[in-house]
């Protein structure tokens, strides 16, 4: 029975979740329509319609039902609660607006029925979700028995870890069939890390036999800021167990090139969610006005989605309010003759591609506000190195790739410093300093410093 359910929803956990959530909302609507001893026939469908609509819009924005959103359970749970709170707030605001449809509805009942159901559904479908699309990309160095078993164990665990491939140590030759392709030799790992998205490198070698090559792999991982894992023992045990089992859960010791600080990171994420949700709520009148202005004054979509490179090289769509005309890229070719800056960067003082509304929202960084959604979704953070575009990452030197070892952010050291007059090299250096000396306190200070920079419209270009 259990396997039947698992198979049925193997790649559909979120669809099951969505349908069940909508059913829960409809059920809650019916429950909320019983008042004064009778069932209000007009309230139930209207409440159901509005709540399902609100729920799906919010869920779409927060990518609630995406195959894999990379969020952990706690973060996901918090977001579900926020979505519920948001929906309840809008429902409460609507009450006086449409009294005919709302009279007789009982929002308290609605909340008490809907909230536990939806949160419970989220938790129960979570274990299904975890078995879905493998998105954490692992690289295994070593194709001997250890490498092979490591990869097979990962794939068998079915917890979202996928093996992108193997690198072999130079002395190793291929004997067995492996569950993933061999992508090259261990010493060429830097080339591979530049091309592929890798979340962690498992170095499955024997310390004595492959010492030099393992050292090289470790050094490259450190320089690139890619997490790696080393075999915990390297010896044969018939009985003994590590005293602290959690440290070597999968037989490996895991290393990070950023300071771990797990508690502070968790608080940072909680602040990200809290602040961005609050900001989106408080700024919603402004956001709606700007959205309306953009739509009214120029033809085209409201948001501009740009592919950016996130943590560990995973790409995501960064959201901005559109501030340029739709065919900006075509126009750019024609305007190149008037470029005011040397090199590959295109910059003009009065760029004719920017719309009138665009000029205003750029000056006060309002065009960046939709990125609060990226923060809520977990793709970005409030504070962190600005996410680069893929073309820029392709040109990075090894040490600069370490910028990708943390979640990118809305603001960072560079944004609150002098802004434009810093060289690229210096900018990268500042970001690296931020990563190496990261602390929660520092983040909060940067946030506070960002506010006046944005409000005065200083240097934003």
Residues that bind another protein (CB under 8 A): 144-146, 148-150, 152-153, 156, 176-179, 204, 231-234, 236-239, 248, 250-251
- Which residue, 176 or 397, is less far from another protein as judged by CB? 176
Q: How far is the CB of 177 from another protein (least distance, A)?
A: 6
Q: How far is the CB of 161 from another protein (least distance, A)?
A: 13
Tell me the C-alpha distance between 237 and 235, whole Å.
6
Q: How far is the CB of 412 from another protein (least distance, A)?
A: 39
Q: How far is the CB of 156 from another protein (least distance, A)?
A: 7
Nearest in space to 361 (alpha carbons), one of 298, 415, 416, 424 = 298
Tell me the C-alpha distance between 203 and 157, whole Å.
19
| φ, ψ dihedrals at 182, nearest 5° | -90, 125
- Which residue, 208 or 329, is less far from another protein as judged by CB? 208
Q: Is 354 exposed, middle or buried (0-12, 13-18, 19+ CB in 10 A)?
A: middle
- Which residue, 15 or 175, is less far from another protein as judged by CB? 175
Tell me the C-alpha distance between 343 and 264, whole Å.
41
| Contact yes or no for 279/267 (Cβ under 8 A) | no
Q: How far is the CB of 154 from another protein (least distance, A)?
A: 9
User: Which residue(s) pair with 92 in the sheet?
Assistant: none
Q: Is 237 exposed, middle or buried (0-12, 13-18, 19+ CB in 10 A)?
A: exposed
- Which residue, 84 or 253, is less far from another protein as judged by CB? 253
Q: Which two tokens stand for residue 243?
A: 């005293």
Distances (CA, A) of 114 to 36, 59, 96, 109: 21, 15, 22, 8
- Which residue, 157 or 389, is less far from another protein as judged by CB? 157
Q: How far is the CB of 67 from another protein (least distance, A)?
A: 25
| φ, ψ dihedrals at 39, nearest 5° | -95, 125
- Which residue, 179 or 457, is less far from another protein as judged by CB? 179
- Which residue, 245 or 461, is less far from another protein as judged by CB? 245
CA angle 207, 248, 122 (to 5 degrees): 140
Q: How far is the CB of 198 from another protein (least distance, A)?
A: 19
């Amino acid at each position: 029975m259990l396997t039947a359910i698992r198979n049925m929803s193997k790649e559909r956990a979120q669809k099951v979740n969505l349908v069940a959530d909508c059913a829960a909302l409809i059920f809650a609507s019916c429950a909320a329509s019983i008042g004064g001893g009778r069932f209000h026939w007009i309230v139930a469908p209207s409440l159901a319609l509005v709540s399902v609509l609100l729920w799906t819009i919010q869920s779409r924005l927060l990518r609630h039902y995406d195959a894999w959103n990379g969020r952990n359970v706690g973060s996901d749970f918090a977001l579900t609660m926020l979505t519920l709170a948001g929906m309840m707030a809008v429902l409460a605001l609507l009450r006086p607006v449409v009294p005919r449809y709302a009279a007789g509805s009982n929002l308290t009942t609605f909340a008490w029925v809907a909230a536990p159901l939806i949160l419970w559904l989220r938790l129960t479908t979570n274990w299904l979700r975890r078995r879905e699309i493998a998105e954490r990309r692992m690289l295994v160095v070593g194709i001997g028995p250890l490498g092979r078993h490591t990869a097979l164990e990962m794939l068998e665990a079915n917890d979202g870890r996928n093996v992108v491939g193997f690198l072999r140590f130079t002395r190793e030759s291929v004997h067995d069939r492996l569950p993933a392709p061999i992508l090259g030799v261990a010493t060429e790992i830097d080339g591979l890390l530049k091309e592929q998205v890798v979340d962690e490198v498992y170095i499955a070698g024997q310390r004595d036999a492959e010492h030099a090559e393992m050292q090289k792999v470790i050094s490259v991982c450190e320089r690139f800021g890619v997490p790696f894992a080393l075999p915990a023992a390297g010896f044969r045990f018939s009985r003994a167990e590590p005293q602290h089992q959690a440290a070597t859960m999968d037989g490996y010791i895991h290393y990070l090139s950023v300071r771990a600080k797990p508690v502070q990171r968790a608080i940072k994420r909680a602040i990200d969610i809290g602040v961005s949700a609050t900001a989106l709520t408080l700024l919603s009148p402004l956001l709606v006005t700007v959205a309306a202005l953009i739509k009214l004054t120029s033809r085209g979509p409201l948001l501009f989605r740009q592919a950016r490179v996130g943590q560990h090289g995973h790409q995501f769509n960064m959201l901005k309010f559109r501030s340029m005309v739709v065919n900006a890229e075509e126009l750019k070719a024609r305007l190149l003759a008037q470029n005011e800056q040397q090199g590959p960067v295109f910059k003009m003082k009065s760029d004719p591609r920017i719309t009138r509304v665009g000029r205003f929202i750029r000056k006060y960084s309002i065009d960046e506000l939709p990125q609060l959604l990226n923060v809520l979704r977990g793709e970005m953070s409030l504070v962190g190195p600005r996410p680069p575009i893929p073309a820029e990452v392709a040109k990075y030197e090894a040490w600069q790739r370490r910028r990708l070892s943390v979640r990118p952010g809305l603001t960072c050291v560079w944004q609150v410093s002098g802004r434009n007059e810093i060289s690229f090299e210096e900018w990268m250096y500042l970001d690296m300093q931020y990563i190496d000396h990261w602390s929660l306190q520092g983040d909060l200070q940067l946030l506070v410093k960002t506010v006046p920079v944005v409000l005065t419209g200083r240097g934003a270009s």
